[in-house]
Amino acid sequence: MIEVINLHKHFGAKVAVDGVSFTVKKGEVLGFLGPNGAGKSTTMRMVTGFMPPTLGSVRIGGADIETNEIEAKAKIGYLPEAAPLYSDMTVEAFLRFAAEMRRVPAAEIDAAVERVIETTFLDPVRHQSIDTLSKGYRHRTCFAQSIIHDPEVLILDEPTDGLDPNQKHEIRQLIHRMGKTKAIIFSTHILEEVEAACTRAIIIDRGRIIADGTPEELKAKASNAGTVYLKASGSAGEAIKEWLERLASTASVEVLESSDDEIIARVKPKKGKSNDLSSEVYTLCREKNLNVHELRVEEGRLDILFREITKSDSDK
């Protein structure tokens, strides 16, 4: 549905986007992550056809955004980062305007406006002038215009920005639901959102893609993935630590607490040995007759991966 091929954007000498390529199929929700200024919004502006790329191309459902502009744009719903709106209109009048512009047939405009007002909870303010709305309502009004024509492709630049936790939850659910029938790209810097709504995520830094995969795959890349957390008693902490270090799959042992009778430790596996490590620790505890209070394999965390890969790059 969305094909992005080798996209570059230069602003004078500054390179904002430096060779980004990816595809999003129908039924996929792609989370777009990255630090501020990484090139997320610039990439989205090129994908939606607002900004011409310096190099590279974008195809929406087979139509090139530059040479077949109108056909490609007709398939897209877009929520820009700042959620811009015509402040002199009422919510309902604005949505009607958007519906007409987005080529909703005249007979279906009423139904389309009702549908989006309901899905984005705008009913209380529908007759209100836009310049009197709070930030959350403004954001949802702009979100509403992006889905008014039931587009095949949805591009959302920070869709949950400015919403309260309940609204954030609703919007995530909505994205997740719509993702089954559409191709969706959304950018965010809230990592839990990626896990809640995305089927795939891309991390972008300094205009380049530095990680690409399902949330699970990405989490597995975090340095804490596969670390075994152990709380056990029945022997001196020092001794247990030594045994743990001697295990075949252990890379290192981090002791959190240690006493004469107990240890709390995190055991890091050697590369690719995380599955073996947990069973080795378990066997060790049984052989040494230790009382195991807690034994679990830590799941990788996106925030840790995010910090690791975006930081190491900027340190250079």
Partner 1 sequence: MKALITLLLQFAVPTAIIAAVFVGIVFFVLPREVRTIFKRELRSYFTSPIAYVLFVVFLGISNALSFFFTGVLEGGEADLFLPYFQYLPWYLILIAPAVGMRLWSEEQRLGTMELMLTMPLAPWHAILGKYLAAAVVLFTMLLLSFPIVWTINFLGEPDNGVIMSGFVATFFVALCFLAVTSFVSAMTRSQLVALLISVAVCLVLWLGGLPHISEMLMNLKGAWLIAWPLLKLINAVGVMPHFTELAKGVLGLRDIIFFLTFIAFCLFATSTAIRLKRA
Q: Which residues bind partner 1 (CB under 8 A)?
A: 45, 48-52, 69-71, 73-74, 76, 78, 80, 82, 84-89, 93, 97, 100-103, 142, 145
Q: Which of 102, 168 has the CB closer to partner 1?
A: 102
CB of 198 to partner 1, least distance (A): 23
Say which amino acid occupies 102.
Answer: R
Q: Which of 65, 211 has the CB closer to partner 1?
A: 65
How does DSSP assign 24-41, residue by residue? E-TT-EEEEE--TTSSHH
Q: Which of 83, 305 has the CB closer to partner 1?
A: 83
Phi/psi of residue 198, nearest 5 degrees: -95, 150
CB of 89 to partner 1, least distance (A): 7
What stretch of H or E contains 169? helix 165-178
Q: Are 1 and 183 in contact (CB under 8 A)?
A: yes
Q: Which of 100, 164 has the CB closer to partner 1?
A: 100
Q: Which of 74, 196 has the CB closer to partner 1?
A: 74
What stretch of H or E contains 285? helix 274-287
CB of 29 to partner 1, least distance (A): 20
Distance CA 156, CA 311 (A): 26
CB of 312 to partner 1, least distance (A): 33
Distance CA 51, CA 30 (A): 21
Q: Which of 135, 296 has the CB closer to partner 1?
A: 135
Residue 294 Cα distances to 253, 264, 279, angstroms? 16, 9, 14
CB of 175 to partner 1, least distance (A): 19
Write out the two tokens for 267.
């055991």
Residue 115 Cα distances to 101, 122, 143, 172, angstroms? 17, 10, 13, 18
CB of 55 to partner 1, least distance (A): 13
Q: Are 104 and 148 in contact (CB under 8 A)?
A: yes
